[in-house]
Structure 1
C-alpha cells in the first residue's frame, strides 16, 4: 500500500458550536493521510494513477470554507469527498485541530480524527 499525506495544512475558518466562534473564527490545522493500492504500474509516472495531494488540499480548502458547528462534520465531509474523487483508496485519516480553543484555561488545541474505513 502507498500512503500520501498532508500535514499541518493551516486554515482560518468559522467552525464552532457557539455563535461567537462562528462570528470571530479560529485557526485550524489539518492532517490528511490517504492509503491506496496502485491500480497500474507507477513506473509510468502519471499523476492520474495516484492520489493527487493537490486535489486533496483543494477538497480541504473547500470544506473549511463551509462554516459548521462541529469539526467532526467537517472531517466527515473531507473523507466523503476524497472517497468520491479517488474511489480506489483503501484508508483515509483526517485530523482537524482547533488552535487555542475558547476554554477557561490555556489549551494548545482541541481536535478530532476521522478514519475510513470506520472501525466499529
Structure 2
C-alpha cells in the first residue's frame, strides 16, 4: 500500500454555523491522506499510476469555496470527490482545522476528521 498526503494546506473560507462566521470568514488548515494499491507498476514512473497530490489540492480548493455551516460537510465533500476521482483508493483521512475559532477563550483550532472506509 502507498500513502500520499498533503499536510497543512491553508485556505481562507466562510464556513460556520453562525451568520457572522459566514460573513467574516476564517483561516483553515486541511490535511488529506490517501492509501491505495497501485493499479500498474509504480516503477513505470508515470503520474497515471498513482494519486496525484496536486489533484487532491484542487479538490480541497473547490470544496473550501462552497460555504457550509459545518466543516464536517466540507470534509465529506472532499472525501466524496476523492473517491469519485480515484475509485481504487483503500483509505482516506481528511482533517479540517478551523484556526482561532470564535469562542469565548483562546483556542488554537477546532477540527474534524472524516475517514473512509467509515468505522461505523
**How would you bin the TM-score normalised by the shorter chain?**
over 0.9
Spell out the pairing of 1:65-104 with structure 2 (5 A cutoff).
65-104=65-104
The residue that corresponds to 1:12 in the other structure is 12
Count of residue pairs brought into register by the alignment: 120
Once residues 45 and 100 of structure 1 are traced to their aligned partners in structure 2, the CA distance between those partners, rounded to angstroms, is: 41
Q: Could you report, residue by residue, the CA deviation over 1:21-54 in whole angstroms, capped at 9, with x for unpaired residues?
A: 0000000000000000011111111100100000
**Alignment root-mean-square deviation, CA:** 0.3
The residue that corresponds to 1:112 in the other structure is 112
Per-residue deviation at 1:84? 0.3
The residue that corresponds to 1:51 in the other structure is 51
SS of the aligned residue for 1:119 comes to coil
TM-score (norm 2): 0.99
Once residues 39 and 55 of structure 1 are traced to their aligned partners in structure 2, the CA distance between those partners, rounded to angstroms, is: 17
Once residues 74 and 52 of structure 1 are traced to their aligned partners in structure 2, the CA distance between those partners, rounded to angstroms, is: 20
SS of the aligned residue for 1:63 comes to helix
Q: Which runs of 5+ in 1 are unaligned?
A: none
Q: Which runs of 5+ in 2 are unaligned?
A: none
Per-residue deviation at 1:10? 0.2
